[in-house]
Amino acid sequence: MKRSPTDRFPLSLSLSHALSHRTRRGRRNLGLLATAVAVALTAFALSAPLRSPVRDLPYGQFRKRLAEGGVASARVGPTSIEGRLAPASPGAAPALYRVSRLGMEHDEDLIRLLEAHVPGGDYDAESAPSPAWAMALPTAMFLMMVAVLTLVVARSGGVGSPLAFGKGKARVYGADEARVTFESVAGHDEVVAELREVVDFLRTPGKFQSLGGRIPKGVLLVGAPGTGKTLLARAVAGEAGVPFFSLSGSDFVELFVGVGAARVRGLFARAQAKAPSLIFIDELDAIGKARGTGGSGGHDERDQTLNQLLVEMDGFDADRGVILLAATNRPETLDPALVRPGRFDRQVVVDRPDLVGREQILKVHSRVVPLADDLSLRQIAAMTPGFVGADLANLVNEAALLAARRGKDHVGRPEFEEGIERLIAGPEKRQRLLRPDEKARIAYHEAGHALVARSLPQTDPVHKVSIVGRGAAALGYTLYRPEDDRFLHTKTALENAICGLLGGTLAEEIALGEASDGCTSDLSRATEIASRMVLDFGMSPVLGRLRYGGDRDAARPGGPSAARGYSERTAREIDLEVRRIVDEAMAKARGILEARRDALDRLAARLIERETLNADDLDELLAD
């Protein structure tokens, strides 16, 4: 029921201009294809002879009817005879017939019979067409279809086209197109200072070569999703004023083997032709994972693409002013040959912004948003620990939408606070109907969290407590607001955090006699903290200052001992220590709730009455 401000949700960015351009191009291609099909069908319809339902007659039966006067007309062709039969009775409509002449082309009596028995001499013969004229119309139709389909493929840009699998998909931005500078980047002052050297390399390479220096071939940007790696790469290209080739690592990979390697060769050839230039590969881990880990040796498409990338990085001349930038959020999965010096000479960490960085990012994104006079962006930044640049941009947008929905002409603190809660826990579910006993249980649960956290040192201050459901599963939540960024946690702080997580289910048990199943996320996070205290932080007096969590999945209790790297006896001791830490935290939280039972009851009653309590309300209720 409690959500942490560091729980992240993936965010997406819509590129409306690119999508509309692709949509218009797709409509043009669809129109060309429809035209080609219409032309082909028309040509086929014109080339096909007009045929009505006719009666097929054997040649012998035709001669017999002809001798009896049963044929009204005849047209003799090279391979067939067609015409009308005489009516069977007066007033009846004449029937059409067709007779094959194949094998009977030299029947000398046919002309005599036609002269003698066709009334009025209603017969004639057609000459055999020459082979050239017989093939002219089908050949013209085929050439027309090939020409139109070739035009469609050429206009399609290669996406999905069998004739353009080896064509690169890099988007090229000119020196003056979509210009982004370092003024658009906030919250990463150290990273910007590091990348300014790359700009100097591209602007004045001779300055560094005069002293025997070598321009770095590659710069790897490492950071969590949404921290602004792509924006930084575009800012480098914008500051340097050079062409910018941008694509994703997945753009190299196709179904057919060898296509990715061909695209790598084409990309570097295009970049060197426009040197000085900048190549940016986003999500490098899509093609740069360590070889031999894919299950198919070194012969699959991804490994061939990686091999070609290694060759190109060794082969291209960095002195000409071509620099490769790449971004990834999983540097540990990259191949060692890719990240060695000489290929990616520099690795720049784009970390989550700190308090000052978040305030700067909020100022950048709120330039076009009218803010209230009493709004402090620093206070809003203090409420968003763990947020990245994409989260903060979404927060400003959510706050502006909420203010517009409420009919305001400016955006204030209530809208930002509501936006933070929407991003962390989801939108409110006020229409969710709860029974009175469920509402009381949720109130005691959240009151237990708040009371235990307010009673222990080294815990984040409680900013808000609510029993209004949010998102898909949260029936209530307790929101903490750290006073500043914290990069280290003591043993006491971790133990008290476990106490706060267990306070909800213990409050249900103390006040209502038994716990419910609404504590799943609390127990999971409490167990995770206790496990890391034992496995990673060496905070167990029994196991000592040792780290057992080398492989995160294998080191979990219950994993195979061979993969864990320690014995079953040690695994048993780890289980016992994790259990001891949780039990001690549970005993401490239970003692607080039993000693302050009156405060627990007051908090729960006020929550049932008002549904939401802020920090001032908590101070008033817990003043004694």
pLDDT at 475 over 60: yes
Tokens of 125: 């013969």
Say if residue 140's pLDDT is above 50.
Answer: yes
Q: What pTM did the predictor assign?
A: 0.63
The percent of residues above 90 in pLDDT, for the chain, comes to 23
Distance in angstroms (rounded) separating the CA atoms of residues 493 and 552: 23
Amino acid at residue number 480:
Y
**168 vs 613, residue with greater confidence:** 613
The pair of three-digit structure tokens given for residue 559, joined into one six-digit string: 């994993």
In 237-336, beta strands by DSSP E: 244-248, 277-282, 322-328
User: Would you list the domain boundaries of the chain?
Assistant: 55-125, 171-350, 355-425, 436-621
DSSP character at residue 221: E
Q: What is the mean pLDDT of residues 46-55?
A: 54
**Better-scored residue on pLDDT, 534 or 72:** 534
Q: What is the mean pLDDT of residues 521-525?
A: 93
How sure is the predictor about 20, in pLDDT bands with cuts at 50, 70 and 90? very low
More confident call, 235 vs 102: 235
What is the structure's pLDDT at 247? 83
Q: Are 55-125 and 436-621 equal in CATH topology? A: no
Q: In which band, very low, low, confident or very high, does the pLDDT at 294 lie, cut at 50, 70 and 90?
A: low
What pLDDT does residue 163 have? 43
pLDDT in tens, 333-368: 888 888 888 888 888 899 888 888 999 999 989 988
Radius of gyration of the chain from Cα atoms?
40
Taking the CB of residue 437, how many other CB atoms lie within 10 A of it? 9
| Cross-strand partners of 221 | 327, 348
Whether residue 6 is predicted with pLDDT greater than 50 in this model: the reply is no
Averaged confidence pLDDT in the chain: 78
Task: Compute the Cα dihedral for 361, 365, 368, 370 and give only its sign.
Answer: negative
Per residue in 538-565, pLDDT (tens digit) is 999 999 898 886 554 444 444 444 456 7
Where does 436-621 sit in CATH, by number?
1.20.58.760
- Annotated active-site residue 573? The verdict is no
**CA pair distance 504, 499, nearest whole angstrom:** 9
Mind listing the pLDDT tens digit for each residue in 218-241?
889 998 888 888 888 888 888 888
Distance of CA 441 to the CA centre of its chain: 39
| Mean pLDDT, residues 167-180 taken together | 59
Query: Cα–Cα distance between 492 and 140 in angstroms, integer?
Result: 86
The answer to which of 75-84, 186-195, 551-560 has the lowest mean pLDDT is 551-560
The CATH number for 171-350, chosen from 2.60.60.20, 2.30.40.10, 3.40.50.300, 3.40.50.2300, is 3.40.50.300
Q: Which tens digits make up the pLDDT trace of 312-336? A: 887 665 556 678 889 998 888 888 8
Question: Span 55-125: which CATH code?
Answer: 3.30.720.210
- Measured distance CA(470)–CA(468) in Å, rounded: 7
Mean pLDDT of 3-29: 42
Q: Tell me the mean pLDDT in the region 35-60.
A: 61
The pLDDT of residue 25 is above 80 = no
Q: What is the mean pLDDT of residues 279-288?
A: 86
> Over 50: is that where the pLDDT of 489 sits?
yes
What is the reported pLDDT for 400? 94
CB 21 within 8 A of CB 541: no
Q: What share of the chain is helix, strand, coil (3-state, %, to 5)?
A: 50, 10, 35
pLDDT at residue 485 is higher than 90: no
Residue range 52-58: average pLDDT?
A: 72
Which residue, among 419, 361, 347, 37, has the nearest Cα to 184 in the 3D structure? Answer: 361
Q: Tens digit of pLDDT for each residue in 395-410?
A: 999 999 999 999 999 9
Query: What single-letter amino acid sits at 224?
Result: A
Mean pLDDT to the nearest integer, 385-401? 91
pLDDT score of 28:
57
pLDDT value for 537: 92
User: How high is the pLDDT of residue 342?
Assistant: 80
pLDDT digits (tens, 9 = 90+) for 566-580: 888 999 999 999 999
| pLDDT surpassing 50 at residue 14 | no
How far is 621 from 618, CA to CA, in rounded Å? 5
Let me know: does 391 contact 8? Beta carbons within 8 Å: yes
pLDDT of residue 36: 60
Confidence at residue 583, expressed as pLDDT on a 0 to 100 scale: 96
CA distance 87 to 444: 101
* pLDDT (0 to 100) of residue 337: 87
pLDDT at 7 over 80: no
Instruction: Determine the 3-state secondary structure of 540 from DSSP.
Output: strand
Q: What is the pLDDT of residue 19?
A: 37
pLDDT for residue 18 is more than 50: no
Collect contacts of 542-551 with beta carbons under 8 A, ≥24 apart. 542/573, 542/576, 542/577, 543/570, 543/573, 543/574, 543/577, 548/574
Lowest-confidence segment of 73-87, 91-105, 359-373, 441-455 by average pLDDT: 91-105
Instruction: Give the per-residue SS3 of 452-509.
Output: HHHHCCCCCCEEEEECCCECCCECCEEEECCCCCCCCCCHHHHHHHHHHHHHHHHHHH
Tell me the CATH number for domain 355-425: 1.10.8.60
pLDDT number for residue 186:
85
Higher per-residue pLDDT: 120 or 470: 470
Catalytic-role residue among 312, 415, 446, 577: 446
Pairing of strands 80-84, 74-76: antiparallel
What pLDDT, in 10s, does the model give residues 198-213? 888 877 777 777 777 6
pLDDT at residue 10, as a whole number: 36
Once rounded to an integer, what is the mean pLDDT over residues 108-129? 70
Which helix (H) or strand (E) element contains residue 125?
strand 123-125
Residue 438 confidence (pLDDT) above 60: yes
pLDDT of 51 reads 46
What pLDDT digit, counting tens, does each position of 592-603 carry? Answer: 999 999 999 999
